[in-house]
Chain A
Amino acid sequence: MIEVIAAPTSPPDSLSIPEESTPVVIRVENVSKRYTLNDYRPSLRHDLKHIFARALRRVKIDPAQPAMETRFYALKDVSFSVRKGEAVGVIGRNGSGKTTLLRLLSGITRPTTGRVSIDGRFAALIALSAGFNAEMTGRKNIYLNAAIQGVPPPEVKPIEDAIIDFAEIGAFIDQPVKLYSSGMIARLGFSIAIHILPDIVFLDEVLAVGDEGFAAKCHQRIMGLHDEGRTLVMVTHDPDAVRKLCTRAIWINKGVLMQDGEPDGVLKAYSESFRAV
């Protein structure tokens, strides 16, 4: 593995980098996401206490102690845009804000400041088991999951068999999902997401699911999505995946966008940052 990192290969020829003239489909402008720590008020009692304490000026700002409300920026003034047909890999260490970025892109949360705009239908594969109902059969869950991603049942009907085949679920498809192994749920989730064919796909770490055979199949399918001109934003720890699947890489560290450009260059800077520590 070390050799692979040390000797980066150039992206395969199949990965075409879009022209300057292709339309921008994802626009992230000066986006910050702030979370407030040490301000956990689980009930009304705490709220009231907090309000009264403030009103009575009991909350003193003690320089020796940290402030009562510690603000923490998961993302800080991040801007970039993605053109149609690009495959962008987002890399960074744990807790660097990668997942927050994906959550903002897919509309789960909104930025504290700045704006995110997305032009086109998208599907998010942030947590593959999300949107599954454990009591329902796998088949019903296909429809449910697609509906959550905004695809109506009549459009799912013709691709139902393809989804089941790709997920390698077999006869289990008519069993409740609670009987599935985690790998089966993940395979089914992935299979649904890539078959409903959105224009834009957001992926989070999902390539790590399943055995090697399935992972290879997924890689192939993702390359296929890219060839069809779809846009991809992928969050991962795996430099290999970025190298293989992406036309561009974005490196985020502690919520700040460090580098944005050719995968090789960004990956090199990223791996050097580990050596520096």
Chain B
Amino acid sequence: MTTAIQTNVAPTTRPPILFRTIPHLACWLTLCAAMLLAVQMRLQLPLGDPLNASPEPYTAHTPALYLMFALIAVGVTLVAPTFARTGRTGERWFAPARPFRRYVVMLALAAAGTFVILPQMRWLQIAYFLAFGIVLGIAVIAAPTRFYLGRPDSDIVSDLMRLWRGRYLVRLWLQHNIESRYAQHVLGVLWIVLLPISTSIVLSVAFSQFMRVQLDVPFVAFYLSALIHFNMFSNGVAQAAVAINSRIEIIAQVYFPREILLVVTLGELIVDFTFTFAAMLVVNAISGIFPNVYFVFLPFLWLILVLIVAGTMLIASALSVIVRDVPQLAAVALQLLFFLTPVIYPVASLPDQYHFLFVINPLAPMMQAFRDIIVYARPPDALSLVFPAVVGVAALIFGYTLFKSIEDRMADMG
């Protein structure tokens, strides 16, 4: 609140060098992410000719490829101003206000360059690369440009500064919400812990005694390790869907960066999660499973999970401003997702024709990784985590810009 609501940046002022490098850095990272995803998906979803049957070695990850992407990103950004002045076509593809088109040029060049560097590359692989390139480009380059920077007076730096200045507000709100929640109930803190544990006991009885699911580990441990993480996601989305509507009074009366409401919600989820995680460790210890050395990977996994949760929360709450049915739709979608994610069943039990459900669901490899670490005491499959990580970052960028572009409409809603 200390600076101007809308900063007056004269068109002549050039941003500092750091900000000027952001566009091609973003394009390069997007290209790399698209290639990584394409390789990984091609390995896991072998449409067309299966890779393991092909005689040539599959060499997609070469440093030269990513270096070439970097050269293309820098090169296109450097020549763009010159090309933009050369007639209509140049202007159409290289205009400064059209970063997505510039990115599409880069993507095409990168696809062509891939053929040059790796002549044995299949068409199908390039098709994967182009498809992921376009989807990611829309999420992190086209949508932010259109939603966010396309509006007058949008300024990401001052928006983030304002959010940073709101940290006191976040702390006070969070403190109060947590105190009041735990003070109001007789069992207090115990409730957040008791609920997942009692469900898991009920389910473990049901699954082990009635349905006879054969597992090599205690079902409670198997189930809880995935459930507490899935719950963080589903509680986050469910609460984000009502976060704006339930606070409409305060939104209509004072200005503060609205995403603070979601930051507070996320903070509460993380606090709850800490309790639940501690309780899970106790339950695991009872059934003979103890913390192991691979727990050092957990912070990275949690970071990816928080990225996905935060991104999805932003998208859900932004959509709830446009369409009022979002809370109901979210409830149905989350229920469906619960069964599509390997939370109550092992991945191996999925029939082959449904294997793709596991591959296209970014939460599935996350659940598998958590389970590997906590229950099976083995390192997670790092390559399978590329997809959730990319989805998390893309969702956060897309969600934040979507949320900020809808922010003005929130006060007029009530």
Chain B residues with CB under 8 A of A47:
323
Identify B412's interface contact among A109, A118, A136, CB under 8 A: A109
User: How many angstroms from the CA of A189 to the CA of B5 in the assembled complex?
Assistant: 23
Is A254 an interface residue, CB under 8 A from the partner? Answer: no
Residue contacts A-B, CB under 8 angstroms, 29 given: A43-B323, A43-B325, A44-B323, A44-B329, A47-B323, A103-B411, A106-B254, A107-B1, A108-B255, A110-B408, A115-B6, A116-B5, A117-B4, A118-B4, A121-B1, A122-B1, A124-B255, A126-B254, A130-B250, A130-B254, A133-B176, A135-B176, A136-B180, A147-B168, A147-B169, A149-B254, A150-B2, A152-B168, A153-B168
Q: Nearest Cβ distance between residue B166 and chain A, in whole angstroms?
A: 8
Cβ distance B243 to chain A, nearest Cβ, rounded Å: 16
Find chain B residues with CB under 8 A from A35 CB: 412
**Is the Cβ of B325 less than 8 Å from the Cβ of A144?**
no
- Smallest CB separation, B30 vs chain A (Å): 30
Say yes or no: B324 contacts A42, CB within 8 Å.
Answer: yes
A119 within 8 A of B: yes
Chain B residue at minimum C-beta to C-beta distance from A129: B253
Among B176, B180, B329, B412, the residue within 8 A (CB) of A144 is B176
Q: Which 5 pairs from chain A and chain B are nearest by CB? A: A130-B253, A150-B1, A107-B255, A147-B169, A110-B408
Q: Are A148 and B6 in touch, CB under 8 angstroms?
A: no
Chain B at the A interface: SS class: loop
CB of B358 closer than 8 Å to a CB of A: no
Cβ–Cβ < 8 Å partners of A44 in chain B: 323-325, 329
Of A42, A108, A115, A126, the most chain B CB neighbours within 10 A belong to A108
B256 at interface, CB cutoff 8 A: yes
Contacts of A108 in B (CB 8 A): 251-255, 411
Question: Given the complex, which residues of A lie within 8 Å of B180, measured CB to CB?
Answer: 135-136
Asked if A140 meets B172 with Cβ closer than 8 Å, knowing A116-B5, A150-B1, the reply is: yes
**Contact, CB under 8 Å: A121 / B4:** no
Shortest beta-carbon distance from B272 to chain A in Å = 19
Interface string of B152-192 (1 = CB under 8 A from A): 11000000000001101100110010001000000000000
**Bound CA span A120–B4, Å:** 7
Residues of B382-414 whose CB lies within 8 A of A:
408, 411-412
Which of chain B's residues has its CB closest to A140's CB?
Answer: B176
Tier of interface size on chain B: 20 to 34
Q: Is B246 an interface residue (CB 8 A)?
A: no
The digit string for B317-360, where 1 denotes a CB below 8 A from any CB of A, is 00000011100010000000000000000000000000000000
The complex places the Cα of A135 from the Cα of B183 at a distance, in Å, of: 12
**B168 partner residues in chain A, CB cutoff 8 A:** 147, 152-153
Question: How distant is the Cα of A165 from the Cα of B286 in the complex, in angstroms?
Answer: 57
Bound-state CA distance A43–B320 (Å) is: 10
Binary per-residue interface labels of chain A (131-148) against chain B in the complex, 1 for a CB within 8 Å, 0 otherwise: 101011000100110011
Q: Chain B interface (Cβ within 8 Å of chain A)?
A: 1-2, 4-8, 152-153, 165-166, 168-169, 172-173, 176, 180, 249-256, 323-325, 329, 408, 411-412
Give Cα A119 to B173, complex, Å. 28
Count of A-B contacts judged by CB separation below 8 Å: 85
Task: Name A154's closest neighbour in chain B (CB-CB).
Answer: B168
CA A230 to CA B165, docked complex, whole Å: 23
Residue A17 CB within 8 A of the other chain: no
Cβ–Cβ contact A148 & B152, under 8 A? no
Q: How many residues of A contact B (CB 8 A)?
A: 37
Q: Please state if B172 and A144 are interface contacts (CB–CB under 8 Å).
A: yes
Is A127 engaged at the interface, CB distance under 8 Å to the other chain? yes
A126's partner among B5, B169, B176, B253 (CB-CB below 8 A) is B253
B251 nearest CB neighbor, chain A only: A108
Could you tell me if B1 and A131 are in contact, using CB atoms closer than 8 angstroms?
no
Shortest CB distance A123–B (Å): 8
Using CB atoms, name the residue of chain A closest to B176. Answer: A136
User: Does A150 lie within 8 Å of B323, measured CB to CB?
Assistant: no
Min Cβ gap B302→A in Å is 28
Of the candidates A110, A116, A127, A148, the one whose C-beta lies within 8 Å of that of B169 is A148
Within 8 Å CB of B7, what residues of A? Answer: 117
Among B1, B153, B324, point to the contact of A149 (Cβ < 8 A): B1
Shortest beta-carbon distance from A110 to chain B in Å: 4
* Contact status of A106 and B412, CB under 8 A, knowing A130-B250, A144-B176, A148-B169: no
Q: Which residues of B contact A152 (CB under 8 A)?
A: 168
Instruction: Please measure, in the bound complex, the distance between the C-alpha atom of A143 and the C-alpha atom of B171, giving whole angstroms.
Output: 11
Closest to B5 in A: A107
Give A244 Cβ to nearest chain B Cβ, in Å.
26
* Contacting pair A119 B4 (CB below 8 A): yes
CB contacts (< 8 Å) of B152 on chain A: these are 115
Q: Which residues of A contact B254 (CB under 8 A)?
A: 106, 108, 124, 126-127, 130-131, 148-149
